[in-house]
Amino acid sequence: MTDFAAAGDTMPDIALETPDGGSVKPSDYKGKKLVVFFYPKDNTPGCTTEAKDFTALKPEFDKAGVELLGVSKDSPKKHQNFIAKHDLTTPLATDAEEGGLSDALGVWTEKKMYGKTFMGMVRTTYLIGEDGKIAQVWNKVKVKGHAEEVLAGAKAL
């Protein structure tokens, strides 16, 4: 198992696929603060709540000069459906490639549930400073109140 990337580390600059078929990578946000939240799966209860919470607070993040990016292994088409179904304004990206950003950060890892072992995304959020370095990490996130907590951290940066 890989260790999680930590505060002070440079955010790996690995491209992700956007729902429209384009690509985005952390260096595209250089000079800006960025929140990247990794979540397990579109249209599941916790992930839907998290994406809707970030969308609800997006005007506050915008006002604070902070960009948002939600990342899962779901396909761009699934992201399009997720965005449309829940009126999400938070940008999403796909990290489906093996050796991708979630692998580099250690958030795509072995998980256990009901006696079964499988690979899965650990719900993790990164706050990246204007210099491209990780300023704060929230590991094994509990969804309730999380977006507000991240907003407070981003405003303090």
- Rounded mean pLDDT of 90-109? 94
According to the model, what pLDDT value does residue 121 have?
A: 95
CB burial of residue 71 (10 Å; 0-12, 13-18, 19+) = buried
Under DSSP, the state recorded for 133 is B
Find how far residue 56's CA is from the centre of its chain.
16
**97-100 contacts, C-beta under 8 A, 24 or more apart:** 100/14, 100/16
Separation between Cα atoms, residue 73 and residue 139, nearest integer Å: 18
Active site (annotated) includes residue 93: no
Model confidence at 151, pLDDT cuts 50, 70, 90, reads very high
Model confidence at 4, pLDDT cuts 50, 70, 90, reads confident
Find how far residue 123's CA is from the centre of its chain.
8
Find how far residue 70's CA is from the centre of its chain.
4
According to the model, what pLDDT value does residue 3 have?
A: 66
C-alpha torsion sign, points 48, 153, 33, 72: negative
- Rounded mean pLDDT of 10-27? 96
Separation between Cα atoms, residue 96 and residue 75, nearest integer Å: 7
Tell me which residue of 157, 112, 119, 110 sits closest to 137, measured CA to CA: 157
Catalytic residue among 34, 47, 51, 154: 47
According to the model, what pLDDT value does residue 2 have?
A: 47
According to the model, what pLDDT value does residue 113 have?
A: 86
Tell me which residue of 4, 3, 57 sits closest to 35, measured CA to CA: 57
What CATH number does domain 16-141 carry, 3.40.30.10, 3.40.250.10, 3.50.30.30, 3.30.420.40?
3.40.30.10
Return the bridge partners of 36, or none. 69, 126
